[in-house]
Amino acid sequence: MIPNFKSAFDSIKNDSGKFLVLAGIGFLVLGLLFMSQVASSYYLISAIGLFLGLFLIGVGILTQIEFFHSFGFTGKLTSIFATASLGFFAGAFVSITYKVVTGFRYSRVRSHGEITPLITPLTDNPYAWLFFPLLIAGACFFVPGVILKIYSECS
């Protein structure tokens, strides 16, 4: 029996938005699972997973609603603006959630007459300052993209 590759590729092409959303959910779960309070080496994996997860979910949803199926210069420019704004919004979210362990605080807690040592990691958000610039850049790409999409749909 000869496999029919054409129908397989057609089904992948038709369901590409669903595949992108599923891949995005997988990366998002990976990013959430690698968030750790102690091991700062996992934060890079977590940040990459969160960024790819949010970006792929957004692109998958836009693909499912056929946002990218537009022709002409304004349609292509709208697609570029929408994709860039998704990237900036995902980067803004990751910049505010990315943390680095800077040290540990040792303290003793007294509970029911016993003294128990408590070690708490001290974390810092080194890229929190990027949140508002990335958010503003995403909005600057999103608003013209929506205006161009409305213009291309009306004409």
Residue 134 neighbours by CB under 8 Å, 6+ apart: 88, 89, 91, 92, 95
> For the chain, what is the total number of helices (H) and then of strands (E)?
5, 2
Domain region containing 134: 15-154
The Cα–Cα gap between 35 and 46 comes to 6
Number of domains in the chain: 1
5: in domain: no
- Ramachandran region of residue 113, left (φ > 0), alpha (ψ -120 to 50) or beta? left
Q: Tens digits of per-residue pLDDT, 11-52?
A: 767 788 888 899 999 999 988 888 765 666 677 888 889 999
For the stretch 105-138, pLDDT in tens is 888 888 787 888 888 878 788 888 899 999 999 9
Residue 4 maps to a domain? no
CB atoms within 10 A of CB 132: 12
